Amino acid sequence: MRKYIYLGALVLPGLAAHSQVSEKTVISAGDSISNHYSYLFPSYKEAKVKFRDGRSFTYKMDFNMLLCVMQYINTKGDTLQITNGELIDSIRMDSCAFTYDNQKGYFQIIAVSDAASLAINRTASFQFVQKGAMDKSDQSSQVQMITDVNSRQGSIPLVSAQDTYVVRTTTYLLILKTGEMVTAGKNAFIRLYNGDKKTVEQYIKENKINFNQQADLEKVFNFCTQSKN
């Protein structure tokens, strides 16, 4: 199991679970995916990138919330996507920190204690749909490539001849001191609070904690780790 360094469309019915929410964006045929980009920050920020070999560089960066990838501005002023995330140890911008996993993508670290870190993992998947008989939409793997962008799913057309469904899944996790990752649900916080089920359940009930809301998860994380800081 890999060790980790400490360092928000339409909710689809049936796909939401504790500490995991899926959102769907529909992009019509002929429309550019770039028209639907949104970013974690309102503008690109100075970010320190530390590589696993010890090197570090500073770039202006922002996280693309539609593609779920990190983008940066190079010395020529071009906006590019990081394609060698597996070489990166951490990215820090303001109070934000990110780590990268070659299988799961970026983890945004939103709270830290000596016992664990609270993290967000965002992933995007793409489905291409073409009109069938009587204008019925059918999923299709045959995509007309015009200009493409990179995603963790591979090369995606910037403009497609078919409707495109973009499904982004946001998962909240605890990264424990051992390096183990667990979904940030009630049982994980009970475990974090030394197994004191009664106390944690009472706090969750009194504070009406919603495990799909970042602010609520930060509240219960701080409660469960306050004695460990």
Give me the pLDDT at residue 142, please: 40
pLDDT band at 130 (very low <50, low <70, confident <90, very high): low
The residues near 193 (Cβ < 8 Å, ≥ 6 apart) are 199, 200, 223, 224
- Which residue in 12, 13, 21 sits closest to 212, CA to CA? 21
Per-residue pLDDT tens digits for 57-91:
999 999 999 999 999 998 888 888 888 888 999 99
In Å, how far are 18, 49, 65, 129 from 193, measured between CA atoms? 19, 33, 32, 46
Q: In angstroms, rounded to a whole number, what is the distance separating the alpha carbons of residues 177 and 204?
A: 23
Residue 200 is given by DSSP the state H
| Amino acid 71: pLDDT | 92
CB-hemisphere CA count at 13 Å for 217? 25
The pLDDT, as a whole number, for residue 4 is 34
100 in Cβ contact with 64 (< 8 Å) = no
Confidence of residue 126 (pLDDT cuts 50, 70, 90): confident
* Percentage of the chain lying above the pLDDT 90 cut: 53
Quote the pTM value: 0.80
Average model confidence (pLDDT) across the chain: 82
